[in-house]
């Protein structure tokens, strides 16, 4: 059961001028479901992405990196059902063939196409069905919607994930719409996190490359379910430049910060949706770390807490087990941490200070907070003014069940 | 159910000349069980230890570090039932009082005593019962045994853990006997790993300090259940010098390597016993990493595999889910890893090479290996000649059950 995750509202999803979407039912893994998405962006759009740091990255990730480096992007093609990862040279050839075939049908160069795959790993793509689906999705470009697109990239997600806003950048109206999929590495064979965000704002290609990293760091890189890093993770931002803002070419331009903020306003709810939809999840947990010397050390502490199976099972049990959280803070890697200055709160309840239990703390108060579906863990490190947040879910019987039973 | 862990044989446990043991039933947490251990070592013995790197380390760990630094050691006092961690200044005072009282009874200085605690955290020690127990354990020094000692330090371990060998060092017969406790951080409120190994071999105090680190790195630091680092972990080696070997004062002396080997022969089975006794464990897994440029990078890969909840649930399900293991290798942090050179085997079955599934691999073969209670995962990195192993267990429903239900 996803935690406070509501079905998407197709009418809330705004079209983005310069972007067309097409989907198809190609039967990649299961018959009858949408499993191919093609995104077309107008010539002259800026497109940039960040990809998994996993050395065993999937074939499409390798091809994306190559093509982004050499050329502008006109088409993104996504299939679900098969990740094309751990498939060696043959998988690489399949990803290239996909780009070539789409390029030929669309009348562009192969380098103008970026491929993405998600699904079962160590299996080859069914190329005949895939290519038929690509042709079908191209033919659907006139009428495809963001809601269809969100559905077409799902694997074991229980709900499609999409979100849209309108914002002001340099006194112009812009639109940002995005989709994502992933159940936070909880579905290991279908582990990929994919995110695609489009805007009609105008920004230079070179500047977008840095911006997409900043947006990912403030959203998808701040959520974790179990700390595993998939072979296929990809996050793409497309900017068509059809809005009326003057093209942003310098990161000191105030419009740069405005656009960053608008993109994060879409990327962050999408990232949260992945955590909320983590199968087995019963709680949505915000770990807020303040008072660090640097954001990096705040992040270390936040991730140590968010990754600890002991902490996560305590959340599942609604057990205010402070020792597990203190222990995670202690091993997070801040070697000169003065634990006597650390303060820990659950929601609005101060639970620990001066290296031990807070004098005012009563376990019933902690218990009350832990029973909520949305929990705030606040850590004050007492050594500086940097802060950050990470988001995670709890760790339940169903996590083991899903992962143990998945292929049986 | 522990995995292939047999009850200790009290008759197999050899006494170590110069060491006496006493236990008591002090009712620290539960009435009637052995919960205090005092170890006495002869004056002139070398004693050294390694402790948790957790910044939220327990009060006794702080006192141990102080006392080891300032003085020789004559007594080690261990209580189970209460970890004296997360107890602030009061907990520190309690640990010091324990040393003072024991010192007074035994006629030594407070600095000659090292305290250890394990059990529930963020609770104060019941000092009246504890001190009565210390007096009782001192009175028991004439007749206490290693088997009693192993029992007295258990928390939620299902079996006591002790092991003994005789070996040759510098052509002299020596004895090494050790005890340990811990269920591998699986019991979070009682999370401590404690290990105490005694030998009658003669070695200088200064040399033992380095040796204990080497022994820990080859044993307790190579096992993991869930990657959490406790607040109380301690591993101590005591060398009384009562054997007839000439005192070892230089690490280039061949006797140094002989003694290291003998100590590891005891420490490693104790470390393995902790993994085998990890509650919820149904499989004992050896991850052997070969062909690295350095031992450190082999260790990174081994730990990435051993820590991955996805890999561990696959072992529980006897699912030869190769993608999860390849993904863990890929994110282990070797940034220049050439995945086309990596080979992965399950037992004697080659499952992956050239970045994909091995041509010869059939899933039934992988399934056969995964069904065993003892599983070897072999990774060949293909970039050097360094190698190492780590040991872990699988991740079952019972892990969540134990950790979720522990305090309810």
Q: What confidence tens digit (pLDDT) does each residue in B218-231 have?
A: 998 898 766 666 77
**Residues of B with Cβ-Cβ distance to A352 under 8 angstroms:** 86
Mean pLDDT of all residues in A227-235: 78
Fold classification of B284-405 is Ubiquitin-like (UB roll) (3.10.20)
Contacts of B155 in chain A (CB under 8 A): none
Stretch A252-276: mean pLDDT, rounded? 95
pLDDT tier at B206, thresholds 50, 70, 90: very high
A contacts of B355 (beta carbons < 8 Å): 56, 86-89
Q: Do A319 and B55 touch (CB under 8 A)?
A: no
CA distance B369 to B376: 8
**Interface contact A334-B231, CB threshold 8 A:** no
Q: Which residues of A touch B84 (CB under 8 A)?
A: none
**Beta-carbon separation of A328 and B228 below 8 A:** yes
Nearest Cα of chain A lies from the Cα of B398 at a distance, in angstroms, of 9
Q: Considering just the CA atoms, what is the radius of gyration of chain A in Å?
A: 22
User: Which of A85, A232, A300, A356 to probe by mutation at the B interface, max B CB count within 10 Å?
Assistant: A356
**What DSSP string describes A328-362?**
HHHTSS-TT--GGG-EEEETTEEEEETTEE-TT--
Is residue B72 predicted with pLDDT exceeding 90?
yes
- The nearest CA of chain A is from the CA of B137 a distance in Å of 29
Question: CA of A19, closest CA in chain B: separation in Å?
Answer: 34
Q: Which of B41, B368, B366, B8 is nearest to B198 (CA)?
A: B41
B393 vs A contacts (CB less than 8 Å): none
Determine whether the interchain pair B188/A331 forms a contact, defined as Cβ–Cβ distance below 8 Å: no
**Region A159-180 average pLDDT:** 96
Q: Would you put residue B88 in left (φ > 0), alpha (ψ -120 to 50) or beta?
A: left
Question: What interface predicted TM-score (ipTM) does this complex get?
Answer: 0.78
Optimal mutation site among B57, B308, B330, B352, interface A, most CBs of chain A within 10 A: B330
**Roughly how many angstroms between the first and final C-alpha of chain A, as a whole number?**
21
Task: Give the closest-approach CA distance of B395 to chain A in angstroms.
Answer: 8
Q: Which of B231, B308, B406 sits opposite A330 (nearest CB)?
A: B231
- Range name among A89-93, A262-266, B404-408 with the lowest pLDDT average: B404-408
How far from chain centre, in Å, is Cα A249? 26
pLDDT confidence tier of residue B184, bands split at 50, 70 and 90: low
φ and ψ at A291, to 5 degrees? 75, 20
What band does A408 get if pLDDT is binned at 50, 70 and 90?
very low
Task: Please answer yes or no on whether B352 and A314 come within 8 Å at the CB atom.
Answer: no
Catalytic residues of B: 192
Task: Report how far residue B120's alpha carbon sits from residue A363's, in angstroms, rounded to the nearest whole number.
Answer: 15
Q: State the pLDDT at residue B270.
A: 94
Q: How many CB atoms within 10 Å of residue B348?
A: 9
Q: CB of A225 within 8 A of CB of A278?
A: yes
pLDDT > 90? residue B54? no
Contacts of A184 (CB under 8 A, 6+ apart): A193, A223, A224, A225, A226, A274, A275, A277, A278, A393
User: Cβ separation of B57 and A330 shorter than 8 Å?
Assistant: yes
Distances (CA, A) of A16 to A173, A178, A257, A266: 12, 10, 20, 13
Least CA distance to B398: which residue of chain A?
A397
Neighbours of A315 (CB within 10 A): 26
Q: Which CATH architecture has domain A10-276?
A: 4-Layer Sandwich (3.60)
Cβ–Cβ below 8 Å for B403 and A309? yes
Distance from C-alpha of B408 to C-alpha of B405, rounded to nearest angstrom: 5
Contacts of residue B386, defined as CB under 8 A and 6 or more positions apart, other chains included, come to B291, B292, B293, B294, B295, B297, B298
R_g over Cα of chain B: 22
Q: Do B404 and A316 touch (CB under 8 A)?
A: yes
Of all residues in chain A, the percent with pLDDT exceeding 70 is 94
Q: Which residue has the higher pLDDT, B278 or B306?
A: B306
Residue of B267, B280, B300 whose CA lies nearest to B386? B300
- CA B223 – CA B376 distance, rounded (Å): 14
The Cα–Cα gap between B87 and B94 comes to 10
The pTM (predicted TM-score) of the whole model is 0.84
**Whole-angstrom distance, CA of residue A73 vs CA of residue A45:** 8
B310-326 average pLDDT score: 85
Which range has the worst mean pLDDT, A41-50, A70-79, A185-194? A185-194
Q: How far apart are CA A305 and CA A224, in angstroms?
A: 11
CA atoms of A237 and A213, how far apart (whole Å): 10
Residue B110's CB is within 10 A of a number of other CB atoms, namely 17
Q: Does the pLDDT at position A188 exceed 50? A: no
Domain range annotation of chain A = 10-276, 284-405
What sign for the dihedral angle of Cα B352, B353, B356, B359? negative
pLDDT over threshold 60, residue B32? yes
- Which residues of A are known catalytic residues? 192
Whether the CB-CB separation of B134 and B24 falls below 8 Å is answered with yes
CB contact under 8 A, B189 and A335: no
Distance from CA of B201 to the nearest CA of A (A): 35
The tokens describing A296, both together, are 């990096």
Cβ-Cβ contacts under 8 Å, B227 against chain A: 307-309
pLDDT at residue B188, rounded to an integer: 42
pLDDT of residue B227: 62
Closest to A238 measured CA to CA, from A112, A10, A73 = A73
Which residue has 């509202």 as its token pair? Answer: A9
């Amino acid at each position: 059961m996803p935690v406070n995750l509501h079905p998407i509202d197709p009418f809330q999803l705004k079209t983005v001028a310069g972007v067309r979407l097409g989907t198809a039912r190609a039967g990649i893994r299961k018959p009858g479901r949408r499993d191919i998405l093609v995104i077309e962006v107008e010539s002259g759009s800026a497109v940039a992405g960040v990809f998994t740091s996993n050395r065993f990255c999937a074939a499409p990730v390798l091809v994306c990196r190559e093509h982004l480096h050499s050329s502008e992007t006109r088409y993104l093609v996504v299939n679900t059902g098969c990740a094309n990862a751990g498939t060696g040279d043959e998988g690489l050839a399949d990803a290239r063939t996909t780009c070539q075939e789409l390029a030929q049908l669309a009348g562009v160069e192969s380098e103008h196409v970026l491929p993405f795959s998600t699904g079962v790993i160590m299996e080859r793509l069914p190329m005949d069905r895939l290519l038929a689906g690509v042709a079908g999705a191209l033919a659907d470009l006139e009428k495809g919607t963001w809601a269809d697109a969100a559905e077409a990239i799902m694997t074991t997600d229980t709900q499609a994930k999409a979100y849209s806003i309108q914002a002001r950048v340099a006194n112009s109206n812009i639109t940002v719409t995005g989709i994502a999929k992933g159940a936070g590495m909880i579905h290991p064979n279908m582990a990929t996190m994919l995110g695609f965000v489009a805007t009609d704002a105008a920004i230079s290609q070179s500047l977008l490359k840095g911006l997409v990293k900043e947006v990912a760091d403030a959203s998808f890189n701040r959520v974790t379910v179990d700390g595993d890093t998939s072979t296929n993770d990809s996050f793409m931002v497309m900017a068509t430049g059809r809005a009326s803002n003057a093209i942003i070419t310098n990161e000191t331009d105030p419009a740069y910060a405005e656009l960053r903020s608008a993109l994060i306003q879409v990327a962050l709810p999408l990232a949260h949706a992945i955590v909320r939809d983590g199968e087995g999840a019963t709680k949505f947990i915000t770990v807020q770390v303040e008072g660090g010397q640097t954001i990096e050390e705040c992040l270390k502490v936040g991730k140590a807490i968010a990754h600890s199976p002991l902490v996560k099972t305590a959340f599942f049990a609604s057990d205010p087990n402070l020792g597990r959280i203190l222990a995670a803070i202690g091993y997070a890697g801040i070697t000169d941490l003065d634990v006597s200055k650390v303060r820990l709160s659950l929601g609005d309840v101060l639970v620990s200070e001066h290296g031990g239990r807070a004098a005012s703390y009563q376990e019933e108060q902690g218990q009350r907070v832990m029973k909520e579906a949305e929990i705030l863990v606040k850590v004050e490190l007492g050594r500086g003014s940097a802060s950050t947040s990470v988001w995670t879910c709890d760790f339940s019987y169903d996590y083991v069940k899903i992962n143990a039973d998945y292929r049986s």
